[in-house]
Structure formats: structure tokens, C-alpha cells
A and B are shown apart, each in its own frame.
Chain A
Amino acid sequence: MNRWLKPAVFFLALVPLALMTLQILQNNLGPDPAQELAKATGEWTIRFLLLVLALTPLRHLTGITQFVRHRRMIGLFALFYATIHLLVWMSFLLSFRWLAIGEELTERPYITVGFVAYIILLALGVTSPKAMVRRLGKNWKKLHQLIYVAAILAVVHLLWILRTDVWEAVLYGAVLAVLLSFRLFRFFFQHRS
């Protein structure tokens, strides 16, 4: 059973990409597909981020250690969808106009915030192999705690983009708050005992 679990999770995590590809090929994204695709890839990035943060709490709630074994893969998928999101924005929305891209990154805070989140995810992804864990030693854990910052920045990025109806961002924010408070709760408990 265990042998098939990782490949199964891998293929499941590719389903959003498959669905989006299907929609692109069927021209099912509406009259402004570039915008729709940017929105969809961003949403999936956040969902994978929240999922990776949920793995440890799930392990503690259910006692099933399997959950945390998928942390790296799910985290890398968050980076994967974030990369597609960034590429969609740079290519389909800004046509690789580098000057414009530079202006957007620096002049619009809501984009800057998203980009910083991306850089964090990139750094975490690059340092995810076992060799890097060994090389960084103690610092690896400290570096990878930046996942919390990345998740918060990603939700802020979304909140900032939505102009009026914020229920989706509020929902993600609420989930994030629950997951973070779980961490804080455990942190304090550990230090007590």
C-alpha cells in the first residue's frame, strides 16, 4: 500500500494542471483566458500552500504519520503552480515586456508581495533535496520556517487583488489562521513540558 501512495499523490497533484490544460485546448476559459489562467493558477498555489501547512496538524490529529511524508512533494507542487502563475503573468499578460514587468514588480505593492512569496518558495524548493538538508544542518529548519511567511504573503497578495467581495480570501485567511495557531499552540505546549 505504501509504495503506491507517493506516486498516487503525485498524479493527484497534477490533476489541476490537467484540468487547466484541457480548458485551454477546448478554449473554455472565456473571452479573457490569460486573466482566467492567472487567477486559476494563483488559487491552486494557495491551496497547495495551505495543504502543506495542514499536513503536520493532520498528523497530530489523526496519529497517522504518513501525512508528513508528503510535505516535500506538496511543497514543491506549490512552487510548481506558483511558477506557472508567474510565467502566465509574464507571458500572456505582459508579453515578456521586461521593462513593464520590472515596473509592475516594483510599483505595485500587491505584486511585490506576491513576488516575495515566490522567491521564498523558490529558495525552499531549491533547498529541499536531502543533500541540502545535510549541507545546511541546523539552518535548514530555520530557513524552511519561512513557509509561514510565504503563505501569509500569498493570502495578502490575494486579498489585495480582490476589490470588493473578499469572501474567498477571508476563507483562505481563516484556514491559514487555524493552521498557524495550531503551530503556536504546540510550540507553547512543548516549551511548557
Chain B
Amino acid sequence: MLIKKPSDVKSSEITPENIYRNRRDFMKDTAALALGGSLLGGASSGLAQDGDALKARAPEALSLAAPAPWWESKFAEVTPAPDQEPYFTGETLTPYRDVTRYNNFYEFGMDKSDPSSRSGSFNIDPWSVEISGEVAKPGTYNLEDVLGPMQLEERVYRLRCVEAWSMVIPWIGFPLVDLIKRFEPTSKAKFVEFETLVDPDTMPGVTSRFAIVDWPYREGLRIDEATHPLTFMAVGLYGSYLPAQNGAPMRLVVPWKYGFKSIKSIVRINFRETMPNTTWNDLQANEYGFYANVNPDVHHPRWRQDMERRLPQTLFSRQYIETRLFNGYVDQVASLYSGMDLAVNY
């Protein structure tokens, strides 16, 4: 078995950048789509190596219907990802079917396959977002008002789960700071709190008698973390709309933190003076801290964090990678925590 360092990633494993950027061109290439359809079956084990493999995964994303007509025009004008870190990485993309079928979204059930198989009746139209707390412009906004003014761009981020597996995902969205600015937080806003939808009718996991999560799912960031250029609000992935299991219609992506901080299906953004409670911290404070920064040197009571499994893998070609401090985004975010003991503020 091979334990790879990130620098060992072969250039042949990096998705050619021009293939990735010309998404709209090969979206129109129906012949390639037909070819891709036949390539899809049995291609679950290979990593997306080149343009053909990427096309093979595009059909599923493209077949998604727009939640409402106004989404189509927003997705027609997506700024492509740049060609270097931190908003892009040359690491091999995790295939679409794994990104959308291997999820932790307990509102739909506890198994990794539950969110994709049990979200059939999940509805994101209509959807409203409540903005509250220390802002000049609080209120309940409908989704079109929230997303309408935002310019969508594509970013390729690493996502590192606290369970010691990771993916590389091409998101579509906008920097969270651009959204926050619109509501004009006051000087008292030191923290931002987020809430996920709870809907017993469309989210079967919510009514499970044995789930001890106290819904709704809550997460939070310090205001400087929330307004950091890296912090992203995603509304799509792989060039198309976000499926329910990935947190439709909009979810956070905070790539330097463990995945549970990247809260899904957001219905409320609240600005506070004090640090908010977060769901996992309430459940088990010794395992899940507020900061949850990816850190191979901070001991985790449940999972070893020195290495991670880059998905997808097969049993005999495993992709073990050394975990990097802040998930490899140390240059961008280390200054947020200067002077802080990361083992204490985990």
C-alpha cells in the first residue's frame, strides 16, 4: 500500500485545467454525453484522470432540473475557477457520483447513502432565509432575493471530514463575505450563527426516535472566519445545481475546517456578540470544538487525524494522504489564529 504525500501526486492524475474550464463547451457536446453515458457504468473505482472521465460524470449533473427558472440564468454566467491555489487545486477531483452519494446529512438518515436515497421529496422552492441579530438590515428574505445579486464563480476545494476521509469538489457559489456585507453587520457582530432546515415531512431522519441530535443543526464561525476570502457559500457543484443531499439550495464550504462546520441547507444566518452553540459541540464537547480546524497534530478522541483517506478508493489501491495543517490552506488562514493554542481551541 502506498502512503502518498501531496507532492507525490502524479501530473497524470491532475485534471487538465483546460478540460475543466471548458465545461460549457463539453456540456453542449451531446456526442460526448452519449459516450459518457456508457462510460459511467463500472467507472466507480477510477479517479477522474482526464477530460473523458470528467465528461462521463457530467451527464448526471446536467440532467438536474433547475429548481426555478431564475436559477438557469444565474448558472449560465459562472466565472471559471482560477488556475492556482487556493481557489483551485490540481488534485484529482472526486467523481460526481461519490460526491453526491456519500454524504453525512443525518436529517435524512444515518447511513452515507441515506441522503441521496431518501431526499426525493425535499423541496427548495419556495425557500426563505432569515437574517437576524446584529445587522442593520435584518429580515426574512426569499431565496431569489438572497442569491439574485450574487455573481457565481467556481472553486475547487478540498473537503476534509473529521472521520478522516476527504474529497476534492468543484463547487459553484460566491464568497460568504459578499453576502454578509449586504446586510451590514454592526460592530457588535463578533460571531455568525447558521441553522439548517428541519422538515419532518421531507427529512425522514428527523423523526427517528433514536437520533439524539437536537434539531435544527446549528453551526457558527467567528466574524473574521466568516468574512475570510476563502469562506464560500455554495449553490452548485460540478457545473450544476446542488442536489438535496449536498445541502441544497445553499451550504457553507469552509475548507480549512472539518466538514461538519460546512453547514447545509441554510435557513437562518444570525449575527451575535457571543460564541454560539453548535450541534456537535453540544453533543460531545470533548470531540467537537467550535473551531474544528483541520490539524494532524491535535489529538482527536475518536479518530486518528494524522492521515486521511482520499476518496474514492478501492481496497487494493488506497489513497492515503498525510493530513495537512488547515487542510493545506495554512498560508491563507494561519493568521486568524496567531497566538491561539490550537490544541486548546480545537
Chain A interface (Cβ < 8 Å from any Cβ of B) = 24, 27, 29-35, 37, 92, 94-95, 100, 103-104, 107-108, 110, 163-167, 170
Q: A133: shortest Cβ distance to chain B, in Å? A: 39
B65 within 8 A of A: no
- Is the CB of B12 closer than 8 A to any CB of chain A? no
Residues of A within 8 A of B165 (CB): 32, 35
Contact residues of B between 44 and 81, Cβ < 8 Å to A? 44-45
Q: Is B339 an interface residue (CB 8 A)?
A: no
Q: Are A33 and B313 in contact (CB under 8 A)?
A: yes
- A34→B98 contact, CB < 8 A: no
B28 within 8 A of A: no
Given A32-B165, A32-B309, answer yes or no on A164-B212 (Cβ-Cβ < 8 Å): yes
With a cutoff of 8 Å between Cβ atoms, the chain A residues found around residue B110 in the complex are 164-165
B208 touches A165 (CB 8 A): yes
Contact A170 B210 (CB under 8 A): yes
Q: Report whether B44 and A95 are in contact in the complex, using a CB–CB cutoff of 8 Å.
A: no
**With contacts A27-B44, A30-B102, A95-B1 known, is A167 near B311, CB below 8 A?**
no
A24 touching B315, Cβ below 8 Å: yes
Whether A164 pairs with B211 at a CB distance below 8 angstroms is: yes
Complexed CA–CA distance, A170 and B208 (Å): 13
> B320 and A95: CB pair below 8 A?
yes
A108 touches B302 (CB 8 A): yes
> Nearest-CB distance from B140 to chain A (Å)?
30
**B44 and A32 contacting across the interface, CB-CB below 8 Å:** no
On whether the beta carbons of A34 and B313 are closer than 8 Å, the reply is yes
Give per-residue flags for B264-285: 1 if the beta carbon is below 8 A from chain A beta carbons, else 0.
Answer: 0000000000000000000110
Chain B interface (Cβ < 8 Å from any Cβ of A): 1, 3, 44-45, 94, 98, 101-102, 106, 110, 112-113, 163, 165, 205, 208-213, 283-284, 299, 301-302, 304, 306, 309, 311-315, 318, 320
Q: Which residues of B contact A33 (CB under 8 A)?
A: 313-315
Please report the C-alpha to C-alpha distance between residue A110 and residue B205 in the assembled complex, in whole angstroms: 26
Whether A165 lies near B106 (C-beta < 8 A) is yes
The number of residue pairs between A and B whose CB atoms lie closer than 8 Å in the complex comes to 73
* Cβ contacts A to B, 20 pairs, < 8 Å: A24-B315, A27-B45, A30-B101, A30-B112, A30-B113, A30-B312, A31-B311, A32-B102, A32-B311, A32-B313, A33-B314, A34-B313, A34-B315, A95-B320, A104-B304, A108-B302, A163-B302, A164-B212, A166-B210, A170-B210
A110 to B304, CA, bound (A): 13
Please, which residue of chain A has its CB at the minimum distance from the CB of B213? Answer: A164
Of all chain B residues, which has the CB nearest A93? B309
Q: Which residues on the A side are within 8 Å of B94 (C-beta)?
A: 31
Residues of B within 8 A of A29 (CB): 315
- Rounded to whole Å, the gap between the CB of A29 and the closest CB of chain B is 8
> Given the complex, which residues of A lie within 8 Å of B312, measured CB to CB?
30-32
CA distance in complex: A167, B111 (Å): 12
Contact in complex: B210, A34 (CB < 8 Å):
no
Further contacts, 11 of them, CB under 8 A, given A92-B315, A164-B110, A165-B110:
A29-B315, A31-B313, A32-B311, A32-B312, A33-B314, A37-B315, A100-B304, A163-B284, A163-B302, A165-B208, A167-B210
**Residues in A whose Cβ lies below 8 Å from that of B283:** 163-164
A104 surroundings in chain B (CB, below 8 A): 304
**CA separation between A166 and B211, bound complex, in Å?**
7
Identify which of A92, A110, A163, A167 contacts B318 (C-beta below 8 A).
A92
Q: What B residues does A95 contact at CB under 8 A?
A: 1, 3, 318, 320
CA gap between A163 and B3 in the complex, in Å? 28
Q: How far is the CA of A65 from the CA of B243 in the complex (A)?
A: 56
In the complex, A167 Cα to B311 Cα: how many Å?
Answer: 28
Q: Are B309 and A34 in contact (CB under 8 A)?
A: yes
Instruction: A47 to B302: give the CA distance in the assembly, Å.
Output: 24
Shortest B132–chain A CB gap in Å is 27
B309 neighbours in A (Cβ, 8 Å): 32, 34-35
**A167 / chain B contacts, CB cutoff of 8 Å:** 208-210
Partner of B211, one of A94, A110, A165: A165
Residues of A within 8 A of B102 (CB): 30-32
Query: What CA separation (Å) do A100 and B315 show in the bound complex?
Result: 20
> CB distance B106 to A164 under 8 Å?
yes
What is the bound-complex CA distance between A95 and B164, given in angstroms? 14
Q: Are A34 and B318 in contact (CB under 8 A)?
A: yes
Query: What's the least CB distance linking A30 to chain B, in Å?
Result: 6
Contacts of A31 in B (CB 8 A): 44, 94, 98, 102, 311-313
Give the chain B neighbours of A27 by CB distance below 8 A.
Answer: 44-45, 314
Task: Report the separation of the CA atoms of residues A146 and B300 in the bound assembly, to the nearest whole angstrom.
Answer: 32
A108 near B301 with CB under 8 A, answer: yes
B106 CB, min distance to chain A CBs, angstroms: 6
| CA gap between A27 and B97 in the complex, in Å | 14
Shortest CB distance A99–B (Å)? 11
Question: In the complex, A193→B41 CA distance in Å?
Answer: 67
> B residues within 8 A CB of A110?
302
Report how far A35 CA is from B102 CA in the complex, Å: 12
Q: Which residue of chain A has its CB nearest to the CB of B2?
A: A95
